[in-house]
Amino acid sequence: MHLPGSHFLRNLVVQRSLLFQLVRRDFTQRFVGSAGGWLWGLIHPLVLLLSWTFIFKVCMRVPLPPGAVTQNYTIWIFTGFLPWLLFQETVQRSASCLLDHSNLITKTVFPAEVVPVSVFLSSLMNHLLALLLAIVAIGFWLKQFRLMVLILPIYMLLLGLFAVGIGWICGQPASLLARHRAGGECGADVVVLDHAHLY
């Protein structure tokens, strides 16, 4: 009897070298030619934080909800939208990553399930930078830490599995279109994880 997802995890372990190469390549290519390099991974959420704080606190005067764990509006917003940014980026990029790697997937024996996972891990590296900044800000302004920080790896794992799964679903139409344009037959066009890959 196999546990659900055991074969999928085994494939990731077997293909760990390929996975590492894909993550490194994706992370470096995203910041090639930019002046700030990987610092843009911090600049982007900070710009969003300033914009959202100005809109919701200054312009719309939206109050904090009753029972909020902090009265610091900026930190409350920051810790709230960081998970959403990771989820959004993973789903959005996973939906197109199969199309971007269509040559490898269609013409070679390539483990397609590794590609969305590499996208999540690359996005996670940016997320960890912003998350570290949030933890430092909480310690500096609120002067406190809670044991809930210890469950962050669980939150990242569950969010990653959910985001990669949604990305796979959203990526199927794009993959079908790409293969159809390449002249493949529709019956074999969709890149799917069969039952054995998931279990």
Contacts of 25 (CB under 8 A, 6+ apart): none
What secondary structure does DSSP assign to 105-162, as a single string?
Answer: HHHS---TTHHHHHHHHHHHHHHHHHHHHHHHHIIIII----GGGGGHHHHHHHHHHH
State how far the Cα of 144 lies from the Cα of 4, in Å rounded to an integer.
39
pTM of the model: 0.79
Which among 115, 87, 89, 133 has a CA at the least distance from the CA of 175? 115
State how far the Cα of 70 lies from the Cα of 83, in Å rounded to an integer.
18
pLDDT digit of tens for each residue in the chain (199 aa)? 566 667 778 888 888 898 899 898 888 887 766 666 677 778 888 999 999 999 999 999 999 988 888 888 999 999 889 999 999 999 988 878 877 776 766 666 667 778 889 999 999 988 998 999 888 888 888 887 777 788 889 999 999 999 998 988 887 766 565 556 555 544 444 444 444 444 4
